[in-house]
Amino acid sequence: MSFSANCNHIFDRCVADYHKCNSVDAQIENPFEERTLDWFLYAKNWIDTVQWHLEDIIREPSIDPVEALAIKRRIDKSNQDRTDLVELIDSYFMERYSGVKVSERATINTETPAWAIDRLSILALKIYHMRAEATREEAEPSHREACHNKLKTLLTQREDLSSAIDNLLGEIERGEKYMRVYKQMKMYNDPSLNPVLYGGKR
């Protein structure tokens, strides 16, 4: 099984596991050995899945403003947790390929492997929910047909992205590409960098 195929298998499993309870307050039950790459991939997709549904909830037109603010704070924390996990996964690849002799003609990719994997995780969610819409019996036939066409596009997108990730890892392993991990340095969550939090001017 290719690396991307394993990712897709884990992400699809995680999304399905979440929908057994379908609650943003459900506790994760990660089936993989703790702190292995598969464990991190499952944890990453669980964060994405919970946040997907929080984003749905906060768009309820009649939501109580106090509840909406609490959810927004939760989404902010989720975004930080997501970023931390992506950077951790990239650190795994940095360590894995640390002994590779990099060609003088090697080039850097537009994104790191883990940020590409992040997009693959989100695609698993899009595919799950678009498939649900494409087969929703009470929906109009035109709605199901439109969603079916969108689903085909999403599946093609996942196939292309999966291939690109496998190719990138192969190029890094052969020294044809090199990677750097740029910490995201998010400012809005840092009390020392966000002027609203440290009392400066907005």
- At residue 188, the pLDDT reads 65
Taking only the tens of pLDDT, the chain with its 202 residues reads 999 999 999 999 999 999 999 999 999 999 999 999 999 999 999 999 999 999 999 999 999 999 999 999 999 999 999 999 999 999 999 999 999 999 999 999 999 999 999 999 999 999 999 999 999 999 999 999 999 999 999 999 999 999 999 999 999 999 999 998 877 666 666 677 677 667 755 5
Number of domains in the chain: 1
SS3 178: strand
The residue segments making up the domain with residue 104 are 3-198
Mention every residue, 6+ apart, whose C-beta is less than 8 A from residue 136.
143, 144
Q: CA-CA distances (angstroms) from residue 10 to 4, 35, 147?
A: 10, 15, 24
Other CB atoms within 10 Å distance of the CB of residue 24 = 17
- At residue 198, the pLDDT reads 72
Q: CA-CA distances (angstroms) from residue 18 to 10, 11, 59, 60, 151?
A: 12, 11, 20, 21, 20
- At residue 81, the pLDDT reads 95
Q: CA-CA distances (angstroms) from residue 75 to 15, 16, 91, 92, 123?
A: 18, 21, 24, 26, 19
Pick from 100, 111, 85, 112: nearest CA to 174: 100
Name 178's bridge partners.
Answer: 108
